[in-house]
Chains A and B, each alone.
Chain A
């Protein structure tokens, strides 16, 4: 095995094993920062040893054993220093307690440890961007430069976020535990939020971007699928996985040949990824079977699933989509959700049904300056033949949008409404 072969193999092993390694060590030493250092030490040892000896048969176990020995060495050293300040008798019992405890900790359930690591790195005491960076680093196996490239920020910024996140966890004495009872809900929401943030960061990437950005979608999906294996009875975990699988299924259809965005109803459905759709629908069914059909992510996934199930845009079940948006609005009232519901209502029951709701939204302060409101309203008015009003709405939307391509489309719709006298159709 050449040195470069060995290094590539070590990179791959790290990607696969690092999360479990760090999680197991964190349980031992109760400090994710120290755990990561120990894991890195083991990685350095592998880089020294494996090019000569070859990759061991069970590389994960090798890394764990190496890191564990380093941890014990460190603790022994710390104990030796302590010993000078303590009575010898007391110290001996302490050491006898500690080493077997370390051995036992290593043999714990690796799944439990991973779950603890996930909850810890997504802890709400850490800033949202700190949670994202720490999670990608500790659970996604990404390096700091990889995270920096994916998020389009300088490397020292990410390094800083990670250092600060670890320090906050230590300063706040965050326990390396899976939360229980009432706390579980809010803490789980934070974990799901971090994963979905990573996904959306990747999903918002455009075709000209570095491939590291869209790869964030795959990283988020991987984290979500991992979590769904670790915590199987929480419906929202499956709801989020379903939402991400179905959204990711459209990745290849979302942009045209020159990188322009293609709207959902205009997408070539042959380019949707049917393996991911199948996985998404299965995850949604699991969320629903667990009684979670009304969850925030499950509802969004159910809306995405309505589109995914439709073989053609005309086959879309708009009435169901409108009902799902209504449920979503009930759960988390939002004018943007209402606007989406209005579109679905118009598709299901005709433009007048949608317009009624849109008109009610025009006084909504949160939508002031939001170009999609006049754009949707213009479209409904146009369909109702109220061209003068439609023209004014399209013109307003064109003035509000920041996207040049979208502005062109809106101005074309202004022109399609005929001149100001309303004479030409």
Chain B
């Protein structure tokens, strides 16, 4: 089964500041542990919202709002996609993410395509 771990860096999400060497080394060690255990499928870090945009539909109208956005607490800074044997194992991995004050990791289980009938598949390559 798969889980996504979503990183919410809090106030630092928008600064785009490069973390110090020690923080980088700690995070690299954590990512190495995930890789060596064979559980890591994918991971990415996300740039500040100044480089992104939001598209919404409201009152039947589509609006585009360019970043940056104000609510730092709701901004995702990156994610890991992991494959594990149990939810408990996923919780254990999430609890090992190196975090500093104000940071949060949210663990979400991924729907498997087999959870849907073929007609409900919304992604088709090519």
A311 and B125: CB pair below 8 A?
Answer: yes
**Contacting residues, chain B, for A273 (C-beta < 8 A):** 113
Majority SS of interface residues in chain A? helix
A72 at the interface (CB under 8 A from B): no
What mask results when residues 85 to 121 of chain B are scored 1 for a CB within 8 Å of chain A, else 0? 1101101110000000000000000001110011001
Assuming A9-B92, A12-B89, is B117 touching A257 (CB within 8 A)?
A: yes
- Identify the closest chain A residue to B121 (Cβ): A270
Residue on A nearest B33 in the bound complex, by CB: A16
Choice from B37, B85, B123 contacting A218 with Cβ under 8 Å: B85
Within 8 A of B (CB), among A108-139: 111
Please give, as numbers and ranges, the residues of chain A lying within 8 Å of B36 by CB-CB distance: 111, 226, 229-230
In the complex, B81 has a CB within 8 A of chain A: yes
Q: Which of B21-29, B38-46, B47-55, B69-77 contacts A (4 or more CB under 8 A)?
A: B38-46
Partner of B88, one of A12, A229, A272: A12
Binary per-residue interface labels of chain A (195-228) against chain B in the complex, 1 for a CB within 8 Å, 0 otherwise: 0000000000000000000010011011111100
Task: Specify which of A229, A271, A279, A312 is in contact with B41 (CB 8 Å cutoff).
Answer: A279
Complex CA gap A16/B121 in Å reads 33
Does B83 sit within 8 A of A, measured CB to CB? yes
A182 to chain B minimum Cβ distance, whole angstroms, is 28
- Residue in A16, A111, A257 whose CB lies within 8 Å of B92: A16
Whole-angstrom distance between the Cβ of A289 and the nearest chain B Cβ: 19
Chain A interface residues (CB < 8 Å from chain B): 8-9, 11-13, 15-16, 111, 215, 218-219, 221-226, 229-230, 252, 257, 268-276, 279, 311-312
Q: List 13 A-B contacts (CB under 8 A).
A: A8-B88, A9-B88, A12-B86, A15-B86, A16-B93, A226-B36, A229-B36, A269-B124, A270-B121, A271-B113, A274-B125, A275-B81, A311-B126
